[in-house]
């Protein structure tokens, strides 16, 4: 504190810092999904089948098991990220956690890539993260971590889907809390 260092003209009440959004500590008791890298270089067991970096269309996935993910649409896979090449592409992930974050950014500077999130096929409502509204709408405007889901208890396995209305967008990894 400043007063401990000898300052004399300091207001006494301490400021309270409310932790919220992505800064809230993980809910370790209900966290069963690991950080997942989407680029070809960081994945050990992808549910979207591709052998090497490149561009190709991905079909609708089969139902997913816990911690599996898949792409639909036309994506280019690189070592660090997957890049949506045509609007309308989606990523789906079956997860178990309170929070779902996606690290992503627009491929073209100063552009916005609109998207919509669904949970179990429905709009997120109160389970929306800080970067989407209750209808699941959001936009990627800069490279960073986006909080897309913040659900309340009980935490159960959920099907997440993000659909991009614009392209290109670079998507790097999922993180959970």
- Domain assignment present for residue 107? The answer is yes
- CATH number, residue 122: 2.60.120.260
- Domain assignment present for residue 15? The answer is no
* Per-residue pLDDT at 67: 95
pTM above 0.85, yes or no: no
Write out the residue range of the structural domain in which residue 35 sits. 26-176
- Domain assignment present for residue 7? The answer is no
The total of structural domains in the chain comes to 1
Residues of the chain falling short of pLDDT 70: 1-23, 42-54
* Per-residue pLDDT at 11: 61
Render 57-86 in DSSP notation, one character per residue.
EE-PPPPPPTT-EEEEEEEEE-SS-EEE-S
* Per-residue pLDDT at 90: 96
């Amino acid at each position: 504190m400043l007063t401990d260092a000898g300052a004399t003209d300091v207001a006494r009440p301490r400021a309270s810092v409310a932790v919220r959004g992505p800064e809230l500590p993980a809910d370790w008791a209900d966290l069963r999904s690991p950080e997942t890298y989407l680029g070809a270089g960081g994945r050990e067991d992808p549910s979207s089948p591709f052998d090497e970096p490149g561009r190709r269309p991905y079909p609708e996935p089969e139902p997913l098991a816990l911690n599996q993910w898949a792409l639909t649409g036309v994506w280019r896979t690189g070592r660090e990220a997957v890049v949506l090449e045509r609007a309308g592409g989606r990523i789906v992930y079956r997860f178990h956690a309170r929070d779902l974050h996606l690290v992503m950014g627009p491929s073209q500077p100063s552009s916005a890539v609109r998207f919509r999130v669904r949970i179990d096929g429905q709009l997120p409502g109160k389970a929306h993260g800080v970067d989407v509204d209750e209808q699941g709408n959001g936009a990627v405007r800069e490279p960073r971590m986006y909080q897309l889901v913040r659900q309340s208890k009980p935490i159960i396995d959920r099907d997440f889907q993000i659909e991009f209305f614009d392209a290109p967008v670079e998507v790097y990894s999922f993180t959970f809390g």
